[in-house]
């Protein structure tokens, strides 16, 4: 009888112990860590200088496997005053091997949800992740919604593929741009490093 009671007690303890486990929260895994130098190591794959703390991390849904992450800042002023910049493993476009060709493909679809008339403000060669690249600054205007956007797109190479960085700064049509955000973006791009070969290079 004593033995039976002990068995029941043991079973109860197991149940309590298991239910305790069920309520224990597992720590949320973040995809980055900080290096002693103050840089961010992202998934042990990329290293870059983070923007100032008023920029929020933006994790874009990994649509069709591209690695997308970036940063966002709400700006003073009326809607849609916001600035966003990101790294994109597979920017729009697919056939062109040259940066100029990819630029043409890219701008067919860039911000395609907004009906914008783009004007190229500047196009120049750039040093990107230790290699050659192309930086294109544009301004797009939507006369119907009375909104505008200033954007800079930087193309570089990772192995055989073209990768991209871009910043968009939206404003109401009568708003003024804050170009200091573009300096933050330029520092982000300049600090960016690949820590290992891409998935595609390992195939």
Partner 1 sequence: MEGHQRNLYLYDRFNARVLGVSRDDVTTLKYWANGLGITFPLLSNITAFLGASFDIQPEGQPIFGRRTVIIDKYGVIRYVRDGSPDFKDILLFLKKLNQEGGKP
Which residues of this chain interact with partner 1, rule CB under 8 A? 63-65, 90, 92-96, 105, 108, 160-161, 199-200, 203
Residues 6+ apart with CB under 8 A from 85: 51, 70, 71, 165, 166, 167, 168, 181, 184, 185, 188
DSSP 52: P
* Minimum distance of partner 1 from residue 90's CB (angstroms): 6
8 vs 203, which CB is nearer to partner 1? 203
Contact 106, 91 (CB under 8 A): yes
106 vs 170, which CB is nearer to partner 1? 106
79 vs 200, which CB is nearer to partner 1? 200
Interstrand relation of 68-74 and 82-88 (parallel, antiparallel or unpaired): antiparallel
28 vs 108, which CB is nearer to partner 1? 108
Sheet containing strand 193-194, edge to edge, reads 32-34, 40-42, 46-48, 193-194
* Minimum distance of partner 1 from residue 185's CB (angstroms): 25
99 vs 188, which CB is nearer to partner 1? 99
Residues written for the chain: 203
* Minimum distance of partner 1 from residue 94's CB (angstroms): 4
Beta-bridge mates of residue 70? 58, 86
* Minimum distance of partner 1 from residue 62's CB (angstroms): 10
* Minimum distance of partner 1 from residue 109's CB (angstroms): 9
Q: Per the structure block, which two tokens stand in for 124?
A: 């120049």
């Amino acid at each position: 009888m004593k033995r039976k009671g002990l068995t029941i007690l043991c079973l109860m303890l197991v149940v309590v112990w298991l239910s305790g486990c069920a309520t224990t929260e597992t720590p949320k895994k973040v995809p980055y860590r900080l290096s002693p130098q103050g840089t961010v190591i992202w998934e042990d794959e990329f290293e870059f200088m983070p923007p100032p703390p008023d920029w929020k991390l933006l994790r874009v849904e990994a649509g069709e496997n591209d690695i997308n992450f970036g940063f966002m800042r709400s700006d003073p002023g009326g809607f849609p005053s916001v600035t966003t910049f990101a790294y994109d493993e597979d920017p729009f476009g697919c056939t062109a091997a040259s940066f100029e060709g990819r630029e043409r493909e890219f701008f067919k679809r860039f911000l395609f949800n907004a009906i914008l008339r783009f004007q190229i403000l500047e196009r120049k060669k750039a040093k990107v992740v230790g290699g050659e690249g192309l930086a294109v600054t544009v301004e797009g205007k939507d006369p119907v919604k009375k909104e505008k956007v200033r954007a800079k797109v930087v193309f570089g190479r990772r192995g055989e593929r073209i990768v991209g960085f871009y910043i968009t700064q939206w404003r109401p049509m009568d708003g003024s741009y804050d170009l200091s955000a573009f300096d933050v973006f330029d520092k982000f791009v300049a600090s960016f490093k690949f820590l290992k070969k891409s998935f595609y290079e390992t195939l």
